Amino acid sequence: MSAEPARTLVLTVPDWPAVAAAAERDLDPSTPVAVLHTGKVVAANAPARAAGITVGNNRRAVGFRCPEAQVVAWDEDVDNRHFSAGVGALESLVARFTLLAPGTLAIPLSSLRHGYADEPSAVEALISALVVETGWEFFPGIADTVFAAVLAAGQARRVEPGDTVEFLAAQPIRTLEYAGAEVNELIDVFWQLGLRTLGDLARLEAKDVNSRFGAFGRHVHDLATGTDRSALPDHVREEQLAVERVLDEPTTRSDTLGFLARQIGAELLGKVRRQGLVCTQITIELAAVAGESSNRTWRIEDMNENAIADRLRWQAEGWLAASGHGGGGNERVGDTPSRRQQDPDIVDEPAPDPEDFSADGIISLTLRAAELTTPVGATKSLFDENTGQITHTLERLQGLFGPDAVLVPGLQGGWDPAETNLWTPWQQTATPVRSPRAPWPGALHAPRPTTVEHLAVDVLAANGRPVQARPSGLETEPRTIRFPSGDTEAIADYSGSWPIESGWWDPEKARYRTRLQVVTEPGRALLLSKENGQWYITGRYR
Amino acid sequence: MDVMSAAPVVEQLSREMGISTAAALFDGIPPHPVDSVLSPMFRRGGLPRGELVTFTGGQSLSCALATIAAATKERKWCAGIGLGEPAVASIADLGVDLDHFVNLATPPEDWLRVVSILIESFDILLVDPGFLPSASERARLLAKIRERRISLISLRPMSGSTEQIEITDTQWSGTSHGHGRLRSCLVRARSQTGIHRFLLPGPTGTPAEAPSVTQAPAVTPAPVVTPVHMTADAGAPEPVPAGTSAHVPAGASAGVPAGTRTGTHLRQVIGGVG
The rounded mean pLDDT for chain A is 80
* Cβ-based contacts of A405 with chain B (< 8 Å): 104-106
Residue A224's pLDDT is what? 87
CB B62 within 8 A of CB B153: no
Residue B86's pLDDT is what? 93
CA atoms within 13 A on the CB side of B58: 23
Closest CA relative to residue A499, chosen from A540, A470, A458, A468: A470
State the count of interchain CB pairs (< 8 A) between A and B: 182
* Cβ-based contacts of A538 with chain B (< 8 Å): none
The confidence band for A165, taking pLDDT boundaries of 50, 70 and 90, is confident
Reduced to 3 states, what is the DSSP secondary structure of residue A88?
A: helix
CB A446 within 8 A of CB A526: no
What pLDDT, in 10s, does the model give residues A501-518?
A: 877 777 777 778 888 999
pLDDT beyond 70 at B24: no
What pLDDT, in 10s, does the model give residues A98-137?
A: 777 788 888 888 878 777 888 888 888 888 888 888 888 8
The lowest-confidence range among A285-294, B24-33, B253-262 is B253-262
The Cα of B139 is separated from the nearest Cα of chain A by a number of Å equal to 22
Neighbouring residues of A149: CB distance < 8 A, sequence distance ≥ 6: A8, A9, A10, A106, A141, A142, A143, A159
Q: Does A401 touch chain B (CB under 8 A)?
A: yes
Residue A384's pLDDT is what? 55
pLDDT beyond 50 at A465: yes
B-proximal residues of A, 283-312, CB under 8 Å:
none
Nearest residue of chain A to residue B186 (CA atoms): A523
State mean pLDDT over A467-490.
87
pTM of the full structure: 0.59
State mean pLDDT over A84-108.
77
Q: Does A525 touch chain B (CB under 8 A)?
A: yes
pLDDT beyond 90 at A156: no
The rounded mean pLDDT for chain B is 76
Residue A539's pLDDT is what? 92
A-proximal residues of B, 147-186, CB under 8 Å:
169-172, 174-185
The residue among A383, A450, A451, A517 with the most chain B CBs within 10 A of its CB, best to mutate, is A450
Of residues B83 and B130, more confidence is placed in B83
* Cβ-based contacts of A386 with chain B (< 8 Å): 77, 121
Of residues A142 and B7, more confidence is placed in A142
Of residues A89 and B95, more confidence is placed in B95
- Please tell me whether the interface predicted TM-score (ipTM) of this complex is above 0.90: no
Of residues A374 and B33, more confidence is placed in B33
Of residues A321 and A147, more confidence is placed in A147
**Angle formed at CA B73 by CA B71 and CA B79, multiple of 5 degrees:** 60
State mean pLDDT over B165-193.
91
CB A312 within 8 A of CB A256: no
What pLDDT, in 10s, does the model give residues A16-60?
A: 888 888 888 888 878 889 998 888 888 888 888 888 888 888 888
The confidence band for A273, taking pLDDT boundaries of 50, 70 and 90, is confident
Neighbouring residues of A25: CB distance < 8 A, sequence distance ≥ 6: A70, A72
Residue B21's pLDDT is what? 59
- Cβ <8 Å between A525 and B172: yes
Of residues A198 and A470, more confidence is placed in A198
- Cβ <8 Å between A495 and B77: no
Residue A233's pLDDT is what? 57
**Angle formed at CA A205 by CA A204 and CA A210, multiple of 5 degrees:** 105
Q: Does B128 touch chain A (CB under 8 A)?
A: no
What pLDDT, in 10s, does the model give residues A523-541?
A: 899 999 988 889 999 999 9
Report chain A's C-alpha Rg in angstroms.
29
The residue among B121, B144, B168, B173 with the most chain A CBs within 10 A of its CB, best to mutate, is B121
Residue B245's pLDDT is what? 38
- Cβ <8 Å between B85 and A496: no
Nearest residue of chain A to residue B169 (CA atoms): A523
The residue among A495, A518, A524, A528 with the most chain B CBs within 10 A of its CB, best to mutate, is A495
Amino acid found at A447? P
The lowest-confidence range among A248-257, A483-492, B68-77 is A248-257
State the Cα–Cα distance between residues A416 and A427, nearest whole angstrom: 26
Q: How many Cβ atoms are within 10 Å of B195's Cβ, its own excluded?
A: 18
- Percent of chain A whose pLDDT exceeds 90: 7
- Cβ <8 Å between A407 and B58: no
Residue B15's pLDDT is what? 60
B-proximal residues of A, 310-339, CB under 8 Å:
334, 337-338
The lowest-confidence range among A360-364, A373-377, A457-461, A502-506 is A373-377
- Percent of chain A whose pLDDT exceeds 70: 87
Backbone φ and ψ of A139, nearest 5°: -105, 125
* Cβ-based contacts of A542 with chain B (< 8 Å): 58-62
Closest CA relative to residue A322, chosen from A310, A332, A312, A313: A332
Reduced to 3 states, what is the DSSP secondary structure of residue A70?
A: strand
pLDDT beyond 50 at A332: no
What pLDDT, in 10s, does the model give residues B145-159?
A: 988 889 999 999 999
Strand-pair category, A525-531 with A534-541: antiparallel
State mean pLDDT over B130-143.
90
Residue A86's pLDDT is what? 75
Reduced to 3 states, what is the DSSP secondary structure of residue A376?
A: helix
The Cα of B5 is separated from the nearest Cα of chain A by a number of Å equal to 42
State mean pLDDT over A352-378.
65
Q: Does A418 touch chain B (CB under 8 A)?
A: yes
Backbone φ and ψ of A194, nearest 5°: 85, 15
Neighbouring residues of A29: CB distance < 8 A, sequence distance ≥ 6: A22, A45, A47
pLDDT beyond 70 at A338: no
pLDDT beyond 80 at A375: no
The confidence band for B67, taking pLDDT boundaries of 50, 70 and 90, is very high
